[in-house]
Amino acid sequence: MRHQIVSDDLRAPEMAEAVEKCVHCGFCLAACPTYNLLGEEMDSPRGRIYLMKNVLEENLPAAEAQPYIDRCLGCMACVPACPSGVEYGDLLVGYRALQEKQRQRPPLDALARKLICETLPYPRRFRLAALSGKLGKALLPVLPDAFASMLSLLPDKLPPARPLPAVLPAQGERRGKVALLLGCVQQVLAPEISHAAAQVLARNGVEVHMPRQQGCCGSILLHVGEEEQARDIARRNFGCIPADVDAIITTAAGCGSGMKDYELLFKGQADAARAAAFSHRVIDFSAYLARLGLRETTAGFSSQRRVVYQDACHLLHAQSHQSEPRALLNGIANLRLVEIADAGMCCGSAGTYNIDQPEIAAELSRRKVASILAAEPDLVVSGNIGCITQLRQEFARQNLTLPVAHIAEVLLQAAPA
């Protein structure tokens, strides 16, 4: 029987399909970080599907479901765990966007959220906010929770801005032509990642285009249900990314999975076809390189390193890239990859989750770091700035000096001189 989802939203059919496909078997429960942590049915994927269904069918006030939906990380660990093929992400993203239009937030909450949405996706504004936020850190003990968790995530020192050329030519015979998405937060917190990615690509015969007009991909906004703003800033990239590139490369997991969802985000919009064509060319850095094949034999490290690869949820669960980064790392001489327990569990970063739900995020980080330490690595590698930042903060909190690097940096470091 078709569920009676009461909504004129264009994505109602996808939401109804997700609800219909769920047979309540519970196979997804073990994969869900919040269910593992809180042990509540309503904090599991099955429970949340039930809640969203009842709100959408007008059988339950949205406010009753809200705390459980807010605690969902959007990590998508439940999607590959589901034997019925429930597209939980279609339901969650559509539901959050619908609710955001109607939701009345307390004034301080609304202000904190506005600040997040108006700064994080814009590198210049974020840089300014991060610099002024350092002053605000002195007020941490007296600030409301929403602001305190936001400020506590800012680093004490920002790296200097490092602009990249508009085009980095391929070295040797050209094997590809790509556009590199520089990201928003990443450009400010870790500009060295894009530099390393561009150099590794160029050294492997890929011409790398990095248009200066490019902006955020909108994923961070999509994650919190601000789809109109997400569309607006995504459109900026449609116009400036060259149409003839083989691929649009992302170096952050959330950017890749968010851009792959453009088809749904732009459903019914005038530029739907353009968004779909754009979206189909998006691929993660490690997946692209693994597919292309490294041209250089990596020189490797001078001494043995034990390395843990931290799977970002939006690479592992949302884009199914588990083997590609490992294959690249396994090709590096003197690098020994070691696996950790519960590798598929989120580290607590999850977009703005560590701002919205700091306690759960902190506990997930502690658990992740405990799993990592048990493997006794010399280095942790990830393909996502969110995980990298989260792990660095937790290591610093525990007075650990274990380095965390992006896979592009490790490939560059291991390349022949």
350: DSSP letter: T
Cα gap 335→181, rounded to integer Å: 28
Give yes or no for residue 273 binding ligand SF4 (CB under 6 A). no
Contact yes or no for 265/232 (Cβ under 8 A):
no
Give yes or no for residue 75 binding ligand SF4 (CB under 6 A). yes
Half-sphere exposure of 397 (CA within 13 A, CB side): 14
What tokens were used for 237?
Answer: 């990239």
Of 7-15, 73-81, 294-302, 333-341, the window that binds ligand SF4 (rule: CB under 6 A) is 73-81
Give yes or no for residue 26 binding ligand SF4 (CB under 6 A). yes
Helix (H, G, I), strand (E, B) or coil at 205: coil
Closest CA to 385 of 186, 115, 95, 112: 186
> Closest approach of Cβ 16 to ligand SF4, in Å?
14
CB closer to ligand SF4 out of 34 and 214: 34
The CA-CA-CA angle for residues 20, 32, 254, to 5°, reads 90
> Closest approach of Cβ 317 to ligand SF4, in Å?
8
CB contact set of 167 (below 8 Å; sequence gap of 6+): 207, 208, 209, 210
CB closer to ligand SF4 out of 83 and 160: 83
Give yes or no for residue 95 binding ligand SF4 (CB under 6 A). no
Give yes or no for residue 123 binding ligand SF4 (CB under 6 A). no
> Closest approach of Cβ 286 to ligand SF4, in Å?
22
Cα gap 33→38, rounded to integer Å: 9
Give yes or no for residue 28 binding ligand SF4 (CB under 6 A). yes
> Closest approach of Cβ 20 to ligand SF4, in Å?
10
Contact yes or no for 170/206 (Cβ under 8 A):
yes
CB closer to ligand SF4 out of 208 and 316: 316
CB closer to ligand SF4 out of 80 and 155: 80
Out of 16, 42, 86, 329, point to the residue binding ligand SF4 (CB under 6 A). Answer: 86
CB closer to ligand SF4 out of 217 and 361: 361
Cα gap 416→28, rounded to integer Å: 44
In the block, tokens 């929403």 appear at 146
Measured from the Cβ of residue 84, the count of other Cβ atoms closer than 10 Å reads 13
H helix or E strand, kind and range, residue 109: helix 107-119
> Closest approach of Cβ 62 to ligand SF4, in Å?
17
Give yes or no for residue 33 binding ligand SF4 (CB under 6 A). yes
What tokens were used for 310?
Answer: 């931290």
> Closest approach of Cβ 13 to ligand SF4, in Å?
18
> Closest approach of Cβ 24 to ligand SF4, in Å?
5
> Closest approach of Cβ 21 to ligand SF4, in Å?
7
Out of 7, 17, 20, 27, point to the residue binding ligand SF4 (CB under 6 A). Answer: 27
Closest CA to 73 of 355, 320, 309: 355
Give yes or no for residue 22 binding ligand SF4 (CB under 6 A). yes
Q: How many residues bind ligand SF4 (CB under 6 A)?
A: 26
Give yes or no for residue 73 binding ligand SF4 (CB under 6 A). yes
The alpha carbon of 326 is separated from its chain's Cα centroid by a whole number of angstroms, namely: 19
Closest CA to 307 of 384, 200, 407, 201: 407
Measured from the Cβ of residue 303, the count of other Cβ atoms closer than 10 Å reads 7
Out of 42, 51, 52, 77, point to the residue binding ligand SF4 (CB under 6 A). Answer: 77
CB closer to ligand SF4 out of 24 and 157: 24
Of 4-12, 52-60, 74-82, 246-254, the window that binds ligand SF4 (rule: CB under 6 A) is 74-82
Q: Reduce the secondary structure of 202-262 to three states and give it as a string.
A: HHCCEEEECCCCCCCCCHHHHHCCCHHHHHHHHHHHHHHCCCCCCEEEECCHHHHHHHHCH
Give yes or no for residue 353 binding ligand SF4 (CB under 6 A). no
What tokens were used for 95?
Answer: 């539901």
Give yes or no for residue 39 binding ligand SF4 (CB under 6 A). no
Contact yes or no for 255/181 (Cβ under 8 A):
yes
Give yes or no for residue 76 binding ligand SF4 (CB under 6 A). yes
Chain residues in the site for ligand SF4 (CB under 6 A): 22-28, 31-34, 45-46, 48-49, 72-78, 82, 84, 86, 88
